[in-house]
Amino acid sequence: MKNKLLAALWTAALGSTSVWAQGMWFPHEVAGRKADMKAVGMKMSTSAIYSSEGGGLNESVVHFGGFCTGEVISSKGLVLTNHHCGYDAIQSHSSIEDNLLEHGFWAKSYAEEKPNPGLFVDFVLRTEDVTLAVQSLIAKGQEPGEAMKDVAAAQPKPDASWIHNVKPIFAGNRYVLTSARRYPDVRLVGAPPSAVGKYGSDTDNWVWPRHTGDFSLFRVYTAPDGSPAEYSSSNVPMNVAKPLAISLRGVEEGDFTLIYGFPGRTDSYMPVSEVQQQLKTMLPTRVAMRHEVLRTWDSAMRVDPMVKIQYASKYASVANGWKKWIGQIEGMAEVSGVDTLAAREARVAAFSPQGLAVIQRFGEQNDALMDARWTALYYQELIPRWELATWSRLTSAYLKAVAMGDNLDKPRAALRELYKDWNPELDRRAAQRLIAAWNANSEVEHAESDLLSFTDPKVSGSVPALPADGASWEAFDAAAKSHPALGLSANLREEYSALMGELSAAETEYQSGMKDWMAVQLAYAASTNKQIAADANSTLRVAYGRAGGFSPTDGMRYTTHTTADGVLAKYRPGDYEFDLPEAYRTKLEAKDYGPYTLSNGELPVCFLAANHTSGGNSGSPAFNDRGELIGLNFDRVWEGTMSDFYFTPQRCRNIMVDIRYVLWVVDRYAGADRLIQEMNIVR
């Protein structure tokens, strides 16, 4: 009784800005959010967003290749996603003679649209809480993993395209089913030049003000009868009964916005002792190690154009996490986020006796696990970066295939892929610095083997070259077999898995504590009549919040939109991040904006809103209060990246490309009239 009263008082005191006010909601939970969504300004019915009967916006949202989000924007299956999501596909169709990345690409007919083997989109048509079904199997003695599989397997499967998946949420206190259909024929339709789609590149990544036209276009194809099918020349563009409406009205500061997509991971309920471990040790160590790699690569990329080409994409992906984590560490400090989380934790823990006990245990466990986790992190940052270790792994696999008399096409292709973008001397220097950085920082005993001996120039300098196309591999095989680095990967992996083996029992115990702790948090939330959202886990979610900027620091304010003038202001001829093709600049300078303007006549480029998003939300549609498409999510502001631990609408913003900029590029720059024609554009 006393606890309930206390909880009620806290809720009243915190109001709707409590640390639990935001979240990523499952489609089937949206109906329960109606009052809050209306209060933020939503004008549509919640069944327009999702209904178990069908007909919701979810039917236009796709999991793009399993790593990004996309949306269907025409009656002919046209899919909009980010440029950085379509990047690999665009790159795979690019060559020196026909460089789609550099020049952009606009298919002039269906026949010119380019197939992408392996690429698929999933439409999530149903989500449902199946906690009771899973728990009843567990009660009968099944392991949770088996129980989840069985519940998924019991769902109707009208044809092979259906994929049912049951995942745990709230640390295994509940379970959710998602039912999707997979379409495996997805073709490239259009992309702006990289200069536009990646404008600002790493310098502007995670940054506002932003001027990136981060979009690309694909199309879903089906069998002639409309069913999902593998690529075939007889496939036809997907026929969409109810295509999204695309609005030219845009949004102003304070307006309702909604994001639909597939965020990958958040840690909103992490024990504070672990959050502190992340912020004080794990993330700074990752940042320091990546810093070494990035500065090594950067100095070589600046002087050698070949290295620039080889390492640009690797650089972007290593820098992406590096910059985000720096933002998280600083952002949490700036808003005293740990204090806020600690206050919440104390409140919730006091709610039940188990709560206090489990929180105290977490503190001790996190201390005890610290060294081993830290050491594991060293391997996690080193193994994927060190290309000599990748060489060792691929070469061992290849030599094994040789010995077994297996088909050698795939292992050989994998080696060619590695060699294409590998500079062994640069890789050696990066590895040397990584290992040195670790040794300097760590008080922890690590690798038994002397890893530094593998960074001897004699080792990297003697890696055998690959034979020319069609030539014999004999010399390579012989040299590889006796190369000192051949065993490197196996060594590293063995050490790493031994370490993980030691850790595993302790981590399992930690996770079972997490389940108890989450149960307390759920009970607390229920006692305050508060619905709380599960952490992201790559399932379809809805986030909503108001459009608008914020004040990142005293005396300064970010506006809601950026405009084309800002694109031109950042232009730096010859710079690899801020150059623009002349034809593009000329078009922008002509200010022929057509119907795609803000009310002041400017061409909008990007805009901000306080939606809770994360990695995986790239390519997510942004909708207005009526469910019309107004933008394309692609990033968050650096100051608010701590939203993965602690979301606050004061500071956390997602960044979207304004749909009017997308349309201006497609229409006025590319002149791709046939694409504009098939869209349902409303005023």
Binding site residues, ligand GLU, CB under 6 A: 613-618, 634-636
> Which CB sits closer to ligand GLU, 116 or 613?
613
Decide which of ligand GLU, ligand ARG, none touches 208; Cβ closer than 5 to 8 Å per partner kind. none
Whole-angstrom distance between the N-terminal and C-terminal Cα of the chain? 55
Measured distance CA(463)–CA(391) in Å, rounded: 9
Active site residue 214: yes
Q: Hey, how many other C-beta atoms are within 10 angstroms of the C-beta on 499? A: 18
Binding status of residue 69 toward ligand ARG by CB under 6 A: no
Measured distance CA(550)–CA(527) in Å, rounded: 33
Angle formed by the axes of helices 387-404 and 409-420, to 10°?
A: 160
Are the C-beta atoms of residues 631 and 645 closer than 8 Å to each other? Answer: no
Measured distance CA(555)–CA(296) in Å, rounded: 37
> Which CB sits closer to ligand GLU, 212 or 432?
212
To which H or E segment does residue 654 belong?
strand 654-658
Active site residue 83: no
Q: What is the nearest approach in angstroms of ligand ARG to the Cβ of residue 215?
A: 13
Task: Find the part of the chain contacting ligand ARG (CB under 6 A) among 201-209, 381-389, 394-402, 643-651.
Answer: 201-209
Q: What is the identity of the amino acid at 490?
A: A
Q: What is the nearest approach in angstroms of ligand GLU to the Cβ of residue 548?
A: 18
Active site residue 396: no
Catalytic residue among 161, 489, 618, 620: 618
Q: Kindly state the greatest CA–CA separation across the chain.
A: 81
**How open is the CA angle 109-115-116, to the nearest 5 degrees?**
145
Decide which of ligand GLU, ligand ARG, none touches 26; Cβ closer than 5 to 8 Å per partner kind. none
Measured distance CA(537)–CA(558) in Å, rounded: 31
Decide which of ligand ARG, ligand GLU, none touches 205; Cβ closer than 5 to 8 Å per partner kind. ligand ARG
Structure tokens that stand for 10 in this block: 């806290």
Decide which of ligand ARG, ligand GLU, none touches 617; Cβ closer than 5 to 8 Å per partner kind. ligand GLU
Task: Find the part of the chain contacting ligand ARG (CB under 6 A) among 90-98, 199-207, 430-438, 549-557.
Answer: 199-207
Residue 38 burial by Cβ neighbours in a 10 Å radius (0-12, 13-18, 19+): middle
Structure tokens that stand for 630 in this block: 């107004």
279 contact partners, CB below 8 Å, separation of at least 6? 328, 329, 332, 338
558 to 617, contacts with ligand ARG by CB under 6 A? 615
Measured distance CA(200)–CA(331) in Å, rounded: 22
Q: What is the nearest approach in angstroms of ligand ARG to the Cβ of residue 268?
A: 18
Binding status of residue 206 toward ligand ARG by CB under 6 A: yes
606 to 645, contacts with ligand ARG by CB under 6 A? 615, 618, 635
Catalytic residue among 83, 84, 211, 446: 84
Q: Which of 46, 131, 165, 205 binds ligand ARG (CB under 6 A)?
A: 205
Decide which of ligand ARG, ligand GLU, none touches 316; Cβ closer than 5 to 8 Å per partner kind. ligand ARG
Binding status of residue 91 toward ligand ARG by CB under 6 A: no
> Which CB sits closer to ligand GLU, 58 or 617?
617
Site string for ligand ARG, 314-353 (x = CB under 6 A): --x---x---------------------------------
Binding status of residue 59 toward ligand ARG by CB under 6 A: no
Are the C-beta atoms of residues 76 and 238 closer than 8 Å to each other? Answer: yes
Catalytic residue among 202, 214, 427, 658: 214
222 contact partners, CB below 8 Å, separation of at least 6? 77, 183, 185, 228, 229, 235, 236, 237, 238, 239
Measured distance CA(576)–CA(199) in Å, rounded: 9
Measured distance CA(287)–CA(284) in Å, rounded: 5
Are the C-beta atoms of residues 76 and 241 closer than 8 Å to each other? Answer: no
Q: What is the nearest approach in angstroms of ligand ARG to the Cβ of residue 160?
A: 32
Q: What is the nearest approach in angstroms of ligand GLU to the Cβ of residue 206?
A: 8
Q: Which of 33, 63, 76, 84 binds ligand ARG (CB under 6 A)?
A: 84
- Ranked by CB distance to ligand GLU, the top (closest) residue is 618
Binding status of residue 197 toward ligand ARG by CB under 6 A: no
- Active-site residue numbers? 84, 214, 618
Contact residues toward ligand ARG (CB under 6 A) are 84, 201-202, 205-206, 316, 320, 615, 618, 635
